[in-house]
Amino acid sequence: MYRNLFAGIAAIALTAAAHAEAPVAEAIRTADGMIAVSWTLEGPVDVFVAHEADAGIEGATPLSMDDEDRNFTYQPAGTGRPYFLLRSGQGAVIEVAERVLPLEGGRNFRDLGGYRTADGQSVKWGRLYRSGAMHELTAQDYQYLADLDIAVICDFRANSERAEEPTEWAGGPVEHIDWDYEMDTSGFAAAFAGEMSPERSAAVMTEFYRQAPTEFAPRYAVMFERIAAGDLPLAFHCTAGKDRTGVAAGLILTALGVPRETILADYAMSDDLVDYMAELREEREAIDPEDPMAFWAQLPEAVIAPFMASDPAYLQAALEQIEAGHGSVEAYLLEVLDVSEADLAAMRRELLE
């Protein structure tokens, strides 16, 4: 996996942590398979569960009424994905679901729902998913995913990545979109210019992110076109699920009006979900010495670590590069990705509540 990930960085490459506002409600799966639902709402709350993202209170089952504990533990039954609805004493309803999907072979597969926008709306659950490579999804995973009715998958990976780790989707009818391209790795060693240090690696990675909005614009344009057309639910992914995918998620959430600090926190979450360095240790031991990417096997882990990280500074660099060149991310969407004002309005109508 990582030889292709490195190739992607190489092709384009010739911190402070982000802290988002705490969510009003969370649903997190515990080690024993239960789902812990918690909230910060004041006063008694009615807790419901549904198995469709847009079921509403009318289609939900009551779990706990006038609950003032600010937490509830739920035992999942069957394979359907649960969505929890919390109704306050004033009648307001907040929906929450697990952000990270409980998949045996999933890689960084998560929902972009639930994030609050600057004007007080929320991104709907069950509409947009981001992920890494899907080649290790199991039969049980696909049984779970089939209930999500994913309609479109945008696979940002290059030809060799898809060939090495093919997606054998078995989660129901889906349109799989990919692109015929390959990464050029020839200039990678030169990018270091004889210097090998963590600082140099971070600089190369930052440059990758600055160029990503231009390099991957054709892929992002198609993704936005399908979202604006209402071809949902939609999942998008690359290999690690953090770089090309991270920029895509940042663009979508920005278009929806989610604050920057929340976007950067979502990006940084990849470090908590995947031990990229541990996986790299396994893979680089198997690299053929004649492989052009064997160069990586000779580098100290400290030098490689910045490429494995989801440092918010990387995504910040991409978004700042867009703003420097176009004035705003929205202007970039309009001018480069050919997203119209009507498209943005349609996206917001469909994805916000």
What is the rounded CA–CA span in Å between residue 247 and residue 220?
9
Task: Mark whether 154 is an active-site residue.
Answer: no
Residue 285 CB neighbour total at 10 angstroms: 8
In this structure, the chain runs to a length of 353
Among 45, 152, 202, 238, the active-site one is: 238
- Nearest Cα neighbor of 246 from 284, 273, 280, 281 is 273
Report the DSSP pairing between strands 45-50 and 25-29: unpaired
Q: What share of the chain is helix, strand, coil (3-state, %, to 5)?
A: 40, 15, 45
User: Where do runs of H (alpha helix) occur along the chain?
Assistant: 2-12, 139-146, 159-164, 188-192, 198-215, 217-228, 244-255, 260-268, 270-273, 276-284, 294-297, 301-308, 312-326, 329-335, 341-351
DSSP state of 115: P
Other C-beta atoms lying within 10 Å of the C-beta of residue 51 = 16
Q: Which residues are catalytic?
A: 238
